[in-house]
Amino acid sequence: MTMLDVLVLMVALVAIAFAVVAVIRARTADETAVAARQAAEQSAVQADAARHDAARALEQAGIARQDAAKALDQSTTARQDAARALESADAAALALERRAVTSGAGGPLQGHAIAAAEPVRWTLEHTKGALWLMKNIGDATAHAALLSDATQPPKYLRPDEVIPRDVPPQDHLQFRVTPGRGGPPPRVRVTWREDGSTEPKSKDVTLLLEQ
């Protein structure tokens, strides 16, 4: 074998070696590309699942908001019904008291009912905006009457008068209400003394405000 044949053989061997290396590198690149493609597909699947979960969470949040709004409407209706029931009960009690007044001999005197003086009776009246009245609708004068905030903690009511005074029938004490959100309903307290009594009386009333 001549020197030229040896050189040709060596060049051929080197070329074969480079070809083998190139094949190995190409196969490795193919495997890497397949792995990358699989990872991308898995990421896409996970992204779709995340989008689906987010959409479901938004739907559930919307349902929860609707339920909360419905519960608030029902609560407001219940408060209004309770206020009407209290007014009806007060009116019925007042009617019974007036019908029960007699001459003391078992019947009306000469066919006429004797109207005895009724004690102090209070009722709430909403005039406008934040302005409210505590009105004496009884037949007796409320002596040393004064309003205060009975809310716990007190923060909603501001009486216009801070000095006790006598409130005759059909007169009133005035106060203002600043409603708060998320807290208890405001409560107003009126204290007074009746004729012939030194013991003070008090009455608490819860204000059922429209939300």
Query: How would you write the pLDDT of the chain (211 residues) with one tens digit per residue?
Result: 788 778 888 888 888 888 888 888 888 888 888 888 888 888 888 988 888 888 888 888 888 778 866 766 676 566 666 656 666 666 666 556 555 543 444 443 333 333 455 699 999 999 988 899 999 999 999 999 999 999 888 777 899 999 999 999 999 999 999 876 767 788 899 999 998 888 899 999 988 776 5
CATH placement of domain 122-206:
2.60.40.1230
How far apart CA 56 and CA 46 sit, in angstroms, is 15
